[in-house]
Amino acid sequence: MNKKKRTGVPAGQETEKSAKEMIVDSLKLPRDMMMGACIVTVMGNSQVLVENYRGILEYTQDCIMLQGKSCRIAICGCKLCIAYYTNEDMKIEGTISEIRYL
């Protein structure tokens, strides 16, 4: 009996994604840039650097929610502020208590 493994990815997207991953791997390209992944760098509990984000969804002193390519990132804490941001990266400062991927 021939059983296929279900991955939860709609038909057609699984092949496309794996083909893209194979190309990125074979050409030794940076996966984060080619696949559109967000890079989150945490420095202690007072600073977070986020790269490759798409936009700001929510901005309060208690929570900053960002849109990535494939998920949302919620940075929670107190006295949070965006120290700077560009089209590519953003630095968040304050007392960080939680980072969630939604």
For residues 52 and 40, what is the distance between their CA atoms, to the nearest angstrom?
9
Domain boundaries, the chain: 36-101
Report residue 30 CA to chain centroid gap: 15
pLDDT at 16: 57
Phi and psi at residue 50, in whole multiples of 5°? -115, 125
Cβ-count burial 54-68 (b if 16+ within 10 Å, e if not): eeeeeeeeebbbbeb
Fold of domain 36-101: Immunoglobulin-like (2.60.40)
Give the DSSP H or E segment for 90. Answer: strand 89-101
pLDDT tens track for 6-63: 455 455 445 556 676 777 677 766 666 656 678 899 999 999 999 988 899 999 999 9
pLDDT at 88: 84
